[in-house]
């Protein structure tokens, strides 16, 4: 991963078309390395989550070119590489497993390296349906929380009060305030920059903890009742 992060670090410092064109082959090499790791990750995650087995690289990875139409800063390239292992592919709208590499100094996402799972920014109607499931199945949701012991819940977009329709003292009141249902785990530099076989095992085991969360959310998504 050192090669990938080195390229991304340089791209972060020289984020323009001229530099990228001159270093295109470095990008191609870094992308190939990332894709190779992602293929192995698909295979390993697929051993405990069969919905991931059919996925291809194209189903999981993203272009490095930014969509300038929606960017306040007119820089042309992303400064991270990510893979989203999600049933039926990244555009399916389902909960999945996300692997993210990025220089820690980047101001683009300011995350650094991380792992995540769950569902980011669901539609309002889907968010309500997920809250309903949390409220109506508190024991099942408790198992989700307990399984994801190495994660923290993303509460950056959180309501100040429990939404209308739920008791203010509900068992999982704090989770009912969430607007996005994602869990995040740190990916330490010493793991990322070390032996890649050990990295693959580490990521796989952390993702294993997230399967109950993804299953819980995807039961709502697949029900279509939202």
Q: Which of 11, 147, 128 is nearest to 81 (CA)?
A: 11
Is residue 191 within 8 A of residue 202, CB to CB? The reply is yes
Specify the pLDDT at position 111: 60
Please report the pLDDT score of residue 156 as a whole number. Answer: 86
pLDDT at 108 over 70: no
Mean pLDDT, residues 30-35? 98
Tens of pLDDT, residue by residue over 125-184, are: 999 999 999 999 999 999 999 999 999 999 988 999 999 999 999 999 999 999 999 999
Q: pLDDT value at position 14?
A: 95
Q: What percentage of the chain's residues is helix, strand, coil (to nearest 5)?
A: 50, 15, 40
pLDDT digits (tens, 9 = 90+) for 39-92: 999 999 999 999 999 999 999 999 999 876 666 667 899 999 999 999 999 999
Which pLDDT does position 92 carry in this prediction? 96
Record the pTM: 0.94
- Domain ranges in the chain are 2-223
Residue 202: band (very low, low, confident or very high) from pLDDT cuts 50, 70, 90: very high
pLDDT for 31 beyond 70:
yes
- Closest by CA to 107, choosing from 81, 83, 82, 79, is 79
Round to whole Å and give the CA distance between 193 and 56.
25
Alpha-carbon distance of 24 to 18, in angstroms, equals: 10
Q: In whole angstroms, give the CA distance from residue 125 to residue 135.
A: 15
The reported pLDDT for the residue numbered 104 is: 74
CB 182 within 8 A of CB 154: yes
Which of the four pLDDT bands, split at 50, 70 and 90, describes residue 105? low
User: Residue 209: pLDDT band by 50, 70, 90 thresholds?
Assistant: very high
pLDDT at 67: 79
Alpha helices in the chain (DSSP H): 2-13, 17-22, 24-45, 57-60, 124-136, 138-147, 173-176, 189-192, 196-223
Residue 45, SS3?
Answer: helix
Please give the structure tokens belonging to residue 171: 């068992």
Query: 């997230």: which residue's tokens?
Result: 210
Which CATH code fits 2-223?
Answer: 3.30.930
Contacts of 48 (CB under 8 A, 6+ apart): 208, 211
What is the number of other CB atoms lying within 10 angstroms of the CB of residue 165? 10
Token pair 């990008």: residue: 27
């Amino acid at each position: 991963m050192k090669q990938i992060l080195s390229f991304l670090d340089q791209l972060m410092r020289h984020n323009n078309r001229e530099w990228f064109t001159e270093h295109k082959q470095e990008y191609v090499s870094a992308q190939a390395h990332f894709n190779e790791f992602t293929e192995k990750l698909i295979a390993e995650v697929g051993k405990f989550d069969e919905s991931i087995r059919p996925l291809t690289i194209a189903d999981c990875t993203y272009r490095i070119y930014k969509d300038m139409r929606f960017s306040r800063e007119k820089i042309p390239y992303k400064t991270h590489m990510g893979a989203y292992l999600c049933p039926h592919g990244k555009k399916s709208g389902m909960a999945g497993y996300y692997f993210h590499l990025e220089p820690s100094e980047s101001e683009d996402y300011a995350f650094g390296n991380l792992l995540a799972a769950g569902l980011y920014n669901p539609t309002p109607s889907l968010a309500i349906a997920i809250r309903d499931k949390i409220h109506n199945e508190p024991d099942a949701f408790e198992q989700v929380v307990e399984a994801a012991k190495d994660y923290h819940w993303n509460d950056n977009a959180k309501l100040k009060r429990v939404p209308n329709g739920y008791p203010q003292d509900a068992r999982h009141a704090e989770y009912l305030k969430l607007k996005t249902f994602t869990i995040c785990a740190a990916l330490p530099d010493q793991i990322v920059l070390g032996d890649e076989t050990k990295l693959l095992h580490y990521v796989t085991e952390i993702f294993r903890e997230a399967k109950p969360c993804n299953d819980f959310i995807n039961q709502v998504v697949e029900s279509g009742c939202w």
